[in-house]
Every structure is written in C-alpha cells, then in structure tokens.
Amino acid sequence: MTDAETTPRTGKRVLLAKPRGYCAGVDRAVQTVEEALRLYGAPIYVRKQIVHNKHVVRTLEAKGAIFVEENEEVPEGATVIFSAHGVAPEVYEQAKARSLKAIDATCPLVTKVHQEARRFAAEDYDILLIGHEGHEEVIGTAGEAPAHIQLVDGPDGVDKVTVRDPNKVVWLSQTTLSVDETLETVGRLKQKLPLLQSPPSDDICYATSNRQHVVKEIAPDCDVVIVVGSRNSSNSVRLVEVALDAGANAGHLVDFAHEIDDAWLADARTVGVTSGASVPDELVQQVLAHLAERGFTDVEEITTANERLTFSLPQELKRDLKAAAAARG
C-alpha cells in the first residue's frame, strides 16, 4: 500500500480553529516596531514586551529592537515605543521628562477602555475594573483614575468590593478576559449592586471573543486542544481554560511545536489547534507539521467568523513616514 492509501485510515484528525492568531491591534503594534526600525534605524527601544509572545519579541530583537521595563532604561532623547497593552498617564510624563520620542502602539480597543475610565472618573463614578492583578493592561487602565478604580479579579473578588454610592457605579474590563467568567463576575456584582452600569460597548475585544467562540465549537469533539501562545499572554491562557470548560478532554499551551509532549497524543484521535491573538501563523503551521508527522494528517478548518478589521499606524509614526516620503520625492 502507498502512503496515500494508508493516510486517511489513521482516523487521526485536526480541527483547526479560525479565527486564530494575530488580531488587528497586535498586527499594528508589531508593524509599528518594524516601520520605526526601518525609518529611524536601530536601536529602537520598546517599553515592556510589544505583545506577549516570545517568538515575536526575539524576532524584533534580532532586527534591532531593545526591550526595557521602564523609561529610565532608555537613553535621553531616544525613541521609545509603548506596547499594545497601554500605559498610565505618568508613563507619558516620564517620557517627556527624559526628552524621549514616544510612539504609542496601544491597541485602539484598549485606548477605548482608557477613555471610558477617564470619562466615568470625571463624572465621579466608582469604577470596578474586572481584570487580572498585575497585568500590564490593568495597570495602564487603573493609572487613568487611581482614586476611582478598584480591581475585581474574577467572581471571587466581588465580596471585597466597597463603593461610596451604589447609584454611581460602573464596570469596565480588561480586553483579553474569558467572556463567560466576566459575565459571571458581572452577574455577581449586579446581585450586590443592582444599579451597576455597564460600559457603553463591550470592553472584551472582538478578537478575544471570536477566538473563544470557535474554541467552544471545536472543544467537545477534541481529545486534546493545543493552544499556541506564551504563558504571559492572558488571551492565550484563557483559550486553554475555555477549551476545558467546553468539553475538551485536555488542553495545553505551547510556545513552539517542539514543546508538544507525545504522551498528550498517545490515545488521541482528534486534536484541536488554535493560537492566541499575539501569535504569528508560522508557529501554528509548525504545530500542524509536527502533528502530521505523528499521523494527524486530516486537517479541517472550522470557521465561525471572518475578521476584516485593521488599524492604522500611530499618528506620530505616520507623520514621520509621510515626511520621509516627501523628502525622498
């Protein structure tokens, strides 16, 4: 028998989730660093990881990006890019004090939450920010109005909430949370505070929701779901949790194909594959090749949404790119 005749009979298949991988905000942030390197030349400094993905960070480092934790590590007068997760207003002030050329690569959907926080704080609301303590996005949003914002870290955090006036309370959220867990947290908050207001539009970003939705679709049919993503990526970690909650027998998070343990596949007939919103598709293709070598050659892509949203580059960078083009012209 030829390989072609035996392959379909392995009975091993992959359900490949779509949408997966890069969202518009991540694409914009990575492109911002690449364009800045081309325009200004290396080194370009980036405060925090531009997006939460090991491979992306290493690739940009190889091109001349230097990742730092704080503005103090950036030489005076140099160019610094703020990551997709957003920063508190004091970070802009620090950059100004050091004469840094700051380019803000914050995802526009995170910027929307910042604007909501400022507006509700100006109206003297208590703001309940649902999110994970210590996450960069939460730190940035809370920094917009620290006197008005208190963090609610999941449903169990509700009991600790105290407000000045139960008639003037609103909830906002980190953009990369589990949709279901957030709804559970909001439900508990509303039991405690019946007049709690909701944000004008959903704070959990479209990409996070879409990636969770398709995982829910495939998980019940999967013996194991492999999520490609880094451990510090909130939306990637959530995808593993969503897969398990939706009925997958097992779920694992890997940065690279070589991290897949053959023991995970030993009794599996159906493997689900997806990736977090900061993961380039080449890493998913490597996982598919790795699985194919182990008999999982039948790949079916399950699509629940088509994403067409794109974001333009930061204004500061667009202005300089335009000036450079005019000078050449």
235 labeled part of a ligand binding site:
yes
252 labeled part of a ligand binding site:
no
278 labeled part of a ligand binding site:
yes
End-to-end CA distance of the chain: 63
- For residues 107 and 311, give the distance between their C-alpha atoms in angstroms, rounded to a whole number: 9
233 labeled part of a ligand binding site:
yes
- The answer to whether 205 and 176 have CB atoms below 8 angstroms apart is yes
Catalytic residue chosen out of the listed positions 35, 116, 137, 144:
137
- The answer to whether 214 and 19 have CB atoms below 8 angstroms apart is yes
135 labeled part of a ligand binding site:
yes
107 labeled part of a ligand binding site:
yes
C-alpha closest to that of 33 among 44, 24, 20? 44
Cα distances (angstroms) measured from residue 211 to each of 198, 239, 304: 23, 8, 9
222 labeled part of a ligand binding site:
no
Q: Which residues of 256-284 are buried (b: 16+ CB within 10 A; e: fewer)?
A: ebeebeeebbeebebbbbbbbbbbbeebb
70 is catalytic: no
23 labeled part of a ligand binding site:
yes
Which helix (H) or strand (E) covers residue 43, if one does?
none
- For residues 307 and 11, give the distance between their C-alpha atoms in angstroms, rounded to a whole number: 31
Q: Pick out the residues of the known binding site for [4Fe-4S] cluster.
A: 23, 107, 205
Give the residue numbers marked as catalytic.
Answer: 137
Q: Pick out the residues of the known binding site for dimethylallyl diphosphate.
A: 52, 85, 135, 233-235, 278
Q: Pick out the residues of the known binding site for isopentenyl diphosphate.
A: 52, 85, 135, 233-235, 278
Q: Pick out the residues of the known binding site.
A: 23, 52, 85, 107, 135, 175, 205, 233-235, 278
